Amino acid sequence: MGLLDIHVLGSPILRRDTEIVRTFDDELRRLADDMFETMHAAKGVGLAAPQVGRLERMAVIDVGEGAEPFVIVNPEIILAEGKVKGEEGCLSIPEIYGDVERAARVRVRAQDVRGEPFEIEGMELLGRCMQHEIDHLHGRIFLDHLGAFRRRNALAKWERMKQDYPALLRKLAPADLADHKDDAL
Ligand code: ZN
């Protein structure tokens, strides 16, 4: 188990499409464990592989609220209904937030870390989180969903803030864990 560095916006891997996972081995499960540990340390509710510099089509999700944490491997949205706007943040774009319109309810088909297929339905934070993470698995970030004006503002702010991340990596150290209280995805 170990903390992984988080790639922040500007790192090219966040714009790459991921690769379908075909081998469900211990290495994949170790990556999932490390991603959970990293996400929890950063106080996030979701984390996708490209955010830790990997191209496996996989994300981890833990929205709390009494729900079990889970891994989605090779996820696909098979049903999307309604529209709802809500604020989002992202562990790869710290301290930048925006209102994003998403489907109000989604049904996702995925595999677990052993390759077993399952389906999960989500609304509200869970539904939003799954859509946000699946976006990451195809090179998309939440800022892509904002209108041109808001996106430009957010990117201008980020241009200044990203100076704080040498090599576009966000290194988590136990000392600075306490002050991140937001639900970032
Ligand atoms: Zn994100």
CA–chain centroid gap for 112, Å, is: 17
> Is residue 183 domain-resident?
no
Asked if the structure places residue 12 within a domain, the reply is yes
CA of 43 to the centre of ligand 1 (A): 12
What was the pLDDT predicted at 1? Answer: 66
| Spatial separation of the C-alpha atoms in residues 95 and 75, rounded to whole Å | 27
Cα(10) to centroid(ligand 1), Å: 13
Alpha-carbon distance of 143 to 96, in angstroms, equals 9
CA 157 to ligand 1 centroid distance, Å = 17
Q: Which two tokens stand for residue 43?
A: 């106080």
172 and 94 Cβ atoms separated by less than 8 Å: no
In a domain, 1, yes or no: no
Amino acid in position 93: I
pLDDT-based confidence at residue 185 (cuts at 50, 70, 90): confident
| Position 101 in a domain | yes
Q: What is the CATH number of the domain that holds 60?
A: 3.90.45.10
Q: Domains in the chain: how many in total? A: 1
How close is the Cα of 18 to the center of ligand 1, in Å? 15
Provide the residue range defining the domain that includes 37. 6-176
| pLDDT tens-digit map of 124-136 | 999 999 999 999 9
CA of 117 to the centre of ligand 1 (A): 24
| 133 is a catalytic site residue | yes
Could you tell me if residue 63 is inside a domain? yes
Mean pLDDT in residue range 97-126 = 97
Residues near ligand 1 ion, CB 5 Å cutoff: 90, 185
Task: Flag whether 39 is in a domain.
Answer: yes
CA distance 170 to 53: 11
Q: What is the mean pLDDT of residues 60-77?
A: 94
Counting DSSP H helices and E strands in the chain, the numbers are 3, 9
CA gap 158, 138 in Å, rounded: 21
Residue 185 lies in a domain: no
Could you report the per-residue pLDDT of 137-178, keeping only the tens digit for each?
A: 999 999 999 999 999 999 999 999 999 999 999 999 764 555
Kindly report the pTM of this predicted structure. Answer: 0.93
pLDDT at residue 67 in the model = 85
Instruction: Tell me which of 65, 101, 133, 159 is the catalytic residue.
Output: 133
pLDDT band at 74 (very low <50, low <70, confident <90, very high): very high
Spell out a b/e string for 55-67, using b for 16 or more CB atoms within 10 Å of the CB, else e: ebbbbbbbbeeee
* 181 is a domain residue: no
Distance 22 CA to ligand 1 centre (A): 24
